Each structure stands twice: as C-alpha cells, then as structure tokens.
Chains A and B, each alone.
Chain A
C-alpha cells in the first residue's frame, strides 16, 4: 500500500483507511479518464480498457509486459532504437523469486506465477539476455483486484456499462420477485380457497425469472474471461487517444512491422524537384519509316513484334511501291527504251572490240562507258518497276512500337516501327528555377511505382520552352522494364546545404489536418504525431528542418498504417 513516511506514525487503522480510499480513488480514476478526457500532462497515462501492462526500456532493449486475463504475463522484447523484435531470453524477478519466461517466438515470451494473480503493485525486474548483451530492466505492474470474481476491474466496469440494460432488467425482475414473494408471504390467508391457486402462478413466475436473472448474472460474469481468453496477445486494438497520441499495442506493432529510427542531426544538400519524362537516348533509338507509298510486306524474319530484339541493319519489313496506271506506264516505257538502248550499245561495243587496232581506243572506251551507264539506269529503274524497298533497323535495340500490319498501305514518312535501346534512356525535364541549375551536384528520378533511378546531368537547352529551361539527364543503369514516356519526379541536389534530421520519405505522412507529420515513438506503445517542416532530399529521403530533435525515435516503417488508426 503506497504511503508516505509521515503516515507511518499515525495509528494503524487510519493509514489503512486512507490507503483504502486511495486505492479506490486510483481504481475509479482510470475509467473516469476514459470517458471525460482527463489528462495529466505529458505523463503516459495507462490506457483505459487496456489490459494491465508494464513497460521498461534501456538504451538497447524495450520490453512490454501485458498481463493476460488468465494470469499469464506476455513479454515482448524489442530493440529500443529500431523496434525490431529481438531474440533472446527473459527472466523475471518477482519479490526475489526468479521466474524464467517461456519463449513463444522471436521476442515473445510468456511467464506464469501465482504472484501475478495477486492484486496490488508488483515490482518486476526483467533480466534480458540477447546475444552478448545483458541488461536489467525494472517495471511496476498494477495487478488489478479481481472484480466480480472474474476479469479485471476495468473489464467488469466496462461490462456493467455495456450491459446495463440487461443487468438492470434482471435486477428489476429480481426485486419485483422478492417484493411479490414477500408480499404473498406476509398476507394473511385468503378467506376464499379459490384464490390460492391464482396466487401461486404469480409467485412461481417471478421466482423463475429471479432464477433466470441470477443465472444471467452468473453467465455474464463467466462470459467475461471466456471472451478475454480469445484475446490472448492480439486482442487489443490500436486506437487514437484523447490527447491525439496513438496507442498501438506491441502485438499490433509486430503485425504492422513498425520500425523506428533514432534521429540524428545532420547536414544534407538542398534539393529541387521538377517533373520530367522518360525518353529514349537519341543516339540509341530510331524510327523505321517508308520513303514512298507502298504496301507493307514482312521481312525475312517475319513482321517485327513488340519487345523483339533487333540488330542494326536487320531488315524488318519491305515496302512494295504502289503506282498509278500513268506512273506505271511511263516507267514501263522508260524501261523498254533503256532495254532497246542497251541492246544497241551492246552490239556496238562488240563490233568495235572486234575492230580493236583499227578504230581509236577512245571510241571503244566511250561505247563501253555508255553501255555501263545505260545498264545502271536500267538497274536503278528496276526496283521502282518490280522491286520493293527494305525497311532496315537503324539501331540495335528493342521494338518499342509497331504501327502497321502486313499488307497495309503506308504513306511515305510513316513511322512503321520504333526501336529503343532500354539500357540507354534519358530524362527530359523542365526546370523553372534557372539559378538552381548552376549548382547541380546530383540528380535522381522517382518512377510512379516508387523506384528511384540515378541520373547524370547531360545538358540544358538555351531556348525557353513553356517558360522553363529544358534539361536532359542520362539514366544510370535503367531497369529493363522502365516505361518509356512516363512522367517521373526529378530531384536535383544542389550545392546548398540544409541542417536537419534526415529521414526516409516514408516516415513523413500527411495528417488529416493537412500539415506533414511524423510519428514519434514516445513510449513503448504510444506514438505521438509531430508536425514537421520537410524538404525533399532525393527520391527516397527527406530532411526535417523543424519539428524534431535529435535522440527521438521516429517511425520510419508503417507510419502510414499508424496514421490510419482512428
């Protein structure tokens, strides 16, 4: 019983009375806090309707002990700094008696001892061994008085509140039955014999109901521990408390994978964000276009398909020219004329060569040149007449688009196939802050799916486009499935330095009220939203310039899940 030294001199009965009053005050105080929104400053108040629990931490370990309704003490052991479960062993010292906790899983133990069922304050010393590290941790557990012979005091109160109508009806019926029974006994015997059987059913009915009400009470009190037994370890739900903090029981933290980080002040270079587009490297991409109107025909290896790898110079398709009747007519006429000319020239060359020595050598050479020219003209006209134009891959890469089908008529300058080398991609972005471009120290791009690509600054245009300067970056090691043409968020690191706490971007969530918040892991199961001012650092990290101090534990994983707790 908690007493101050001054009271030890008082008569023994008075301190006991005071202690009883205080105990009652302490016990009654907790449900009151839940319904009226009491708060005692920054001190972590025990969460009402939660199971009795104790927590302790050192620089290395964080331990939470939850007293289950059955009298079993569930102990969770986590690393203090990052909240990850820690394997090891835990021994409890209760009133000088050592109790080894049974290991249930990584960082989860359970201990049973008769002292855990005795109501009152219980000092617990945890001896924690995890690998090389050992530590002693202390905590005080308030074992609640067994209210209504079952469950905890708080549970019984909650039960009373939730079932007040049923219990009220039961009690009312009980009282009614008692009154009726008493009234019937006290009454002198009725003069008429016929009335006696009339009374008996009336009496019997309430007594039956009375029994039913009593049974109901017993059933209700018995049901409380049964319901709580199912709630072993994971029965409690996370919830937002009156003071804005969020209570997340340790088992729920395990489920949500909540991880924290001890904040450190650091220096980071300021960053600038802009929107860019993923484009192919102009030197490693190309288009395949027909130079004349014609009909598409498949290449030697078939018509190109999406995702197909093609080599430079590979024939992807042919275009068979289509001509009007007049065009075809003039072409055929030209060919016929050339053919006739070639025949004449051939005959002339033969004749002159047989007369070699008598005719001038110059004449022979001229005739041969004339024949060669005519043949060349004939060869040149041949593809237009009957041949087809091969469409050749200009670069090595992957077929990225195919516009066209076999047999389709295409106009000249139609892009039939686009080829992209996925290992060589660029990002084209528009920078509105021209001054910042002078001091670029690095850049990266965030894809819509969250992946981050490193960028290398290539150059900037001088002509302003949409009031902004176009900037080109080369993507370092692009992923093979990078979606070309997609918008990316480009983060430029500049030489300007900012002071603050560097956190992963996931740690910062947008609160319902608007400003960005991070969740401070204030005590083992309590998370406090802290409003912060953040600046982007790169795709994955931010720097908190205000709102956080060094040495606080901040949730870096699972913050979005904690933010959803209502």
Chain B
C-alpha cells in the first residue's frame, strides 16, 4: 500500500508537467484528442451534437458509463452549457445543443470520471480551420 500511495503522490506531483507534454492531436474517431486530467479525451463535434470518448493515459479506450460530464460550448458568440449523457453502448458520452460545427467552435469539457473523483477539464477547438 505505501508503494501505491507514493506512486500516486509521484503521479500527482508530475501531473502538471504531463499536462504540458502533449499537444492536441486527432483521435481514432476523428475528433480532437486532448489531455484531460490523467486521462485522454477525444471530442467529436458535429452540428448540434458532441460526442466524447475517454481513454487512459496509454490511449486505451475506457468505458464512459459512470462518468458524468458537462460541456461549456462557445459558438456563434453565444455560450451554453450542455450535459453529456452516456451513449447506449456505453462507449461514449453524447450531448446535443444548438450550435454549428465551425472552426470558431470552442468546447470545455468538465468531466467527473467516476463518482467521488475530482472534476477535471479540458479545452477543445474541435474543428480545424481549413487552410
């Protein structure tokens, strides 16, 4: 147990550095991948619909059941807060609202991975501007 505890302590102490270590990238489902807490999260944005996939630090998919999340969506100069609900297959969280998938879309996902855990958050710019 002490080893586990010290491991956790070490993980917590280097956590901020981990957060800075990765940049955004594309996830396996075509969404934007970001670090969220000690996890990785992929956000796929379509018009009016957000899909959120959760991965562990080694990019292995995690079940989204048991996780609760909200999204702060900034689109078209308007800010709204959406609540995610688990997808029936449990592999992802979905939320729907009124917005268009534009490059100016910004989403902040605030996630509680499991009950009793601290809330973590990540910022997404899910639609890349076409260059």
CA distance A190 to B122 in the complex (A): 75
Would you call A58 and B74 a contact (CB within 8 A)? no
Would you call B123 and A138 a contact (CB within 8 A)? yes
Q: Is B77 interfacial (CB 8 A cutoff)?
A: yes
Would you call B8 and A7 a contact (CB within 8 A)? yes
Would you call A4 and B17 a contact (CB within 8 A)? no
Chain B nearest CB from A134 CB (Å) reads 6
Report chain B residues within 8 Å CB of A91.
79
CA distance A91 to B72 in the complex (A): 13
Report chain B residues within 8 Å CB of A56.
123
Q: Is A193 interfacial (CB 8 A cutoff)?
A: no
Give B5-28 interface residues, CB cut-off 8 Å to A.
5, 8-9, 11-17, 20
Q: Is A269 interfacial (CB 8 A cutoff)?
A: no
Report chain B residues within 8 Å CB of A21.
5, 9
CA distance A44 to B70 in the complex (A): 29
What are 18 A-B pairs at a CB distance below 8 A?
Answer: A3-B118, A8-B114, A8-B115, A18-B8, A21-B5, A21-B9, A29-B13, A40-B13, A40-B14, A40-B17, A42-B20, A44-B16, A93-B72, A123-B119, A123-B120, A127-B72, A134-B104, A136-B107
Report chain B residues within 8 Å CB of A121.
118
Chain A nearest CB from B8 CB (Å) reads 6
CA distance A26 to B115 in the complex (A): 24
Q: Across the two chains, which residue of chain B brings its CB closest to A523?
A: B20
Q: Is B117 interfacial (CB 8 A cutoff)?
A: yes
Q: Across the two chains, which residue of chain A brings its CB closest to B17?
A: A43
Would you call B118 and A1 a contact (CB within 8 A)? yes
Chain B nearest CB from A375 CB (Å) reads 93
Q: Is B88 interfacial (CB 8 A cutoff)?
A: no
Knowing A6-B4, A8-B117, the reply to whether A136 touches B14 (Cβ < 8 A) is no
CA distance A127 to B122 in the complex (A): 14
Give B96-131 interface residues, CB cut-off 8 Å to A.
104, 106-108, 110, 113-123, 125
CA distance A21 to B108 in the complex (A): 31
Chain A nearest CB from B99 CB (Å) reads 13
Knowing A8-B115, A135-B74, the reply to whether A42 touches B17 (Cβ < 8 A) is yes
Q: Which of A22, A41, A93 contacts B12 (CB 8 A)?
A: A22
Chain A nearest CB from B97 CB (Å) reads 14
CA distance A134 to B76 in the complex (A): 9
CA distance A41 to B122 in the complex (A): 23
Would you call B108 and A136 a contact (CB within 8 A)? yes
Report chain B residues within 8 Å CB of A40.
13-14, 17
Would you call B14 and A8 a contact (CB within 8 A)? no
Q: Which of A26, A29, A125, A140 contacts B108 (CB 8 A)?
A: A125
Q: Is B29 interfacial (CB 8 A cutoff)?
A: no
Report chain A residues within 8 Å CB of B79.
91, 127, 136
CA distance A470 to B48 in the complex (A): 74
Would you call B106 and A4 a contact (CB within 8 A)? no
Q: Is A5 interfacial (CB 8 A cutoff)?
A: yes
> Chain A interface mostly helix, strand, loop or mixed?
mixed
Report chain A residues within 8 Å CB of B117.
3, 5, 8
CA distance A29 to B117 in the complex (A): 23
Would you call A96 and B123 a contact (CB within 8 A)? no
Q: Is B38 interfacial (CB 8 A cutoff)?
A: yes
Q: Across the two chains, which residue of chain A brings its CB closest to B81?
A: A96
Would you call B12 and A26 a contact (CB within 8 A)? yes
> Chain B interface mostly helix, strand, loop or mixed?
mixed
Closest 8 CB pairs of A and B: A43-B17, A136-B106, A138-B123, A136-B74, A125-B108, A123-B121, A136-B108, A138-B121
Write out, one digit per residue, whether chain A residues 90-116 have a CB within 8 A of any chain B CB (1) or not (0).
010100100000000000000000000
Q: Which of A22, A123, A134 contacts B77 (CB 8 A)?
A: A134
Give A1-35 interface residues, CB cut-off 8 Å to B.
1-8, 18, 21-22, 25-26, 29
Would you call B70 and A96 a contact (CB within 8 A)? yes
Would you call A125 and B17 a contact (CB within 8 A)? no
Would you call B108 and A43 a contact (CB within 8 A)? no
CA distance A123 to B74 in the complex (A): 17
Knowing A4-B38, A138-B122, the reply to whether A41 touches B11 (Cβ < 8 A) is no
Report chain A residues within 8 Å CB of B5.
18, 21
CA distance A29 to B10 in the complex (A): 12
CA distance A121 to B12 in the complex (A): 13
Q: Across the two chains, which residue of chain A brings its CB closest to B15?
A: A2
Report chain A residues within 8 Å CB of B17.
40-43
Q: Across the two chains, which residue of chain A brings its CB closest to B16?
A: A43
Report chain B residues within 8 Å CB of A216.
none
Report chain B residues within 8 Å CB of A385.
none
Chain B nearest CB from A262 CB (Å) reads 16
Q: Is A384 interfacial (CB 8 A cutoff)?
A: no
Q: Is A367 interfacial (CB 8 A cutoff)?
A: no
Q: Which of B20, B115, B118, B121 contacts A44 (CB 8 A)?
A: B20
CA distance A22 to B12 in the complex (A): 9
CA distance A43 to B14 in the complex (A): 8
Knowing A43-B20, A136-B74, the reply to whether A22 touches B9 (Cβ < 8 A) is yes
CA distance A140 to B116 in the complex (A): 19
CA distance A319 to B5 in the complex (A): 103
Chain B nearest CB from A88 CB (Å) reads 13
CA distance A58 to B105 in the complex (A): 13
CA distance A7 to B38 in the complex (A): 14
Q: Across the two chains, which residue of chain B brings its CB closest to A138?
A: B123
Give A362-414 interface residues, CB cut-off 8 Å to B.
none
